């Protein structure tokens, strides 16, 4: 670690250091619970226009850093921009979420753009990273990200978010070659996308596998573990020393050994498992991130203070980055975020 990076507590935790106070950031820290985010999104017009506007995307990334002094900033973008760069149509229905044209047949898979073409669409995202690199305080770590192939595929196959990822499981059963082919295309494109973020200045990358929990048994190994292992080994070959966080959300027992099997430096833990369980079973292999229930950002009060202290204490014997177990929700109270940070930093 360079002398300059000693200021960056997130990088120190990722390198395995046990710090007296865990560094903290929050999934969806730039989001609708902040009035300044809503104002900038209105200025951009809509969510996707905000993602593709480097000045404004950098601005919303910086807003929670200015307001709270988080130890990391996460690039403002979305996991569904990569499929868009591969040629699918993507839009957001107000109040409902993402919609996209589907990829479920060999012909639709073959019609996706070649991986080298993704940068034509994604260049503004790399520009956002370059702006952030210049503007972030020296102690703040810049995190880039992508969706994991399985999670991105669930949206591409269904054309929208689904509760049980039914359409993706159905394609996997009915036409395994097309399904596995889509996972392969996404795996290789994700490597190039994350690599370009690192070249632009991202210091850490995170792989979001939000729907990993619905993959069971051999499917979990084939479509959550194997793609993550491939992405991580190739990124580390291209960028030696790059720290990588993996988030196989709701993997349960699948969290055990995930870092070893994939080469991830840190495993992010959701709040469906207890911090004590994760400390005993996952933190034994290295750094973990998590895992306060995001509902506390809505409900606040003494329960928030107690739950924050419990997470800090449970993970205090090993390397830990404090975070929520999933993204903060739009109905959260910004005051509760301040209370969480004060509790972490002042005890
Ligand atoms: O964490 C951050 O602050 C960085 C930016 C970020 C966003 N999405 C911005 C966003 C990140 C890391 C994501 C990841 C993402 N996007 C995931 C994986 C993580 C997770 O939450 O499980 C997924 C599954 C998506 C896909 C996606 N994007 C959905 C399903 C939705 C709609 C749901 C919603 O919250 O509205 C989005 C939209 C989205 N992505 C918003 C933000 C701030 C809200 C858009 C708005 O401003 O209206």
Domains for the chain: give ranges and CATH numbers: 23-270 (3.20.20.210)
pLDDT at 3: 75
What is the position in ligand 1's atom list of the atom closest to the CA of 161?
30
pLDDT at 29: 98
Asked whether 149 and 190 are in contact (CB, 8 A), the reply is yes
- How many CB atoms neighbour CB 239 within 10 A? 16
Test site for ligand 1: of 29, 30, 31, most ligand atoms within 8 A of the Cβ: 31
The Cα 236–Cα 313 span in angstroms is 32
230 among known catalytic residues: no
Q: What is the pLDDT of residues 56-91, one digit of tens each?
A: 999 999 999 999 999 999 999 999 999 999 999 999
**Cα end-to-end span (Å), the chain:** 28
Candidates 68, 46, 67; CA nearest to 57 is: 46
* Cα–ligand 1 centroid distance for 106 (angstroms): 29
pLDDT at 241: 97
Candidates 119, 85, 81; CA nearest to 98 is: 81
Q: Exposure pattern of 247-285 as b/e (b: 16+ CB <10 Å)?
A: bbbbbeebbbebbebbbbbbbbbbbebebeebbebbbeb
Q: In this structure, what are the phi and psi dihedrals at residue 246, rounded to the nearest 5 degrees?
A: -110, 140
pLDDT-flagged residues of the chain (< 50): none
6 among known catalytic residues: no
pLDDT at 4: 72
Cα of 111 vs its chain's centroid, Å: 28
* Cα–ligand 1 centroid distance for 185 (angstroms): 22
Q: Whose CA is nearest to atom 17 of ligand 1?
A: 79
pLDDT at 5: 84
Q: What is the pTM of this model?
A: 0.97
């Amino acid at each position: 670690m360079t002398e300059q990076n000693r200021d960056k507590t997130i990088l120190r935790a990722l390198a395995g250091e046990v710090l007296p106070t865990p560094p903290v950031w929050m999934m969806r820290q730039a989001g609708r619970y902040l009035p300044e985010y809503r104002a900038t999104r209105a200025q951009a017009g809509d969510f996707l226009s905000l993602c593709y506007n480097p000045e404004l995307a950098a601005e919303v990334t910086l807003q929670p850093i200015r307001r709270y002094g988080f130890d990391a900033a996460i690039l403002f973008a979305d996991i569904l921009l990569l499929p868009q760069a591969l040629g699918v149509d993507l839009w957001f229905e107000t109040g409902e979420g993402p919609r996209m044209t589907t990829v479920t047949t060999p012909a639709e898979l073959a019609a996706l753009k070649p991986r080298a073409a993704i940068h034509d669409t994604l260049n503004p995202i790399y520009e956002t990273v370059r702006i952030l690199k210049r503007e972030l305080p020296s102690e703040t770590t810049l995190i880039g990200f992508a969706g994991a192939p399985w999670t991105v595929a669930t949206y591409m196959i269904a054309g929208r978010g689904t509760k049980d990822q039914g359409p993706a499981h159905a394609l996997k059963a009915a036409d395994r070659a097309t399904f596995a082919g889509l996972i392969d295309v996404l795996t290789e494109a994700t490597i190039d996308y994350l690599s370009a973020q690192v070249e632009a200045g991202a210091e850490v990358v995170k792989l979001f596998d939000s729907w990993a929990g619905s993959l069971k048994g051999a499917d979990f190994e084939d479509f959550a573990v194997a793609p993550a292992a491939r992405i991580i080994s190739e990124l580390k070959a291209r960028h030696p020393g790059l720290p990588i966080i993996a988030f196989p959300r709701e993997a349960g027992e699948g969290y055990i050994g995930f870092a070893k099997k994939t080469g991830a430096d840190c495993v992010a833990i959701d709040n469906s498992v207890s911090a004590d369980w994760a400390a005993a079973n996952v933190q034994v292999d290295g750094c973990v991130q998590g895992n306060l229930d995001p509902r506390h950002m809505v409900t606040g009060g003494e329960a928030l203070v107690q739950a924050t202290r419990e997470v800090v204490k449970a993970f205090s014997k090993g390397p830990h980055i404090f975070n929520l177990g999933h993204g903060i929700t739009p109905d959260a109270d910004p005051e509760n975020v301040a209370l969480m940070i004060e509790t972490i930093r002042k005890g």
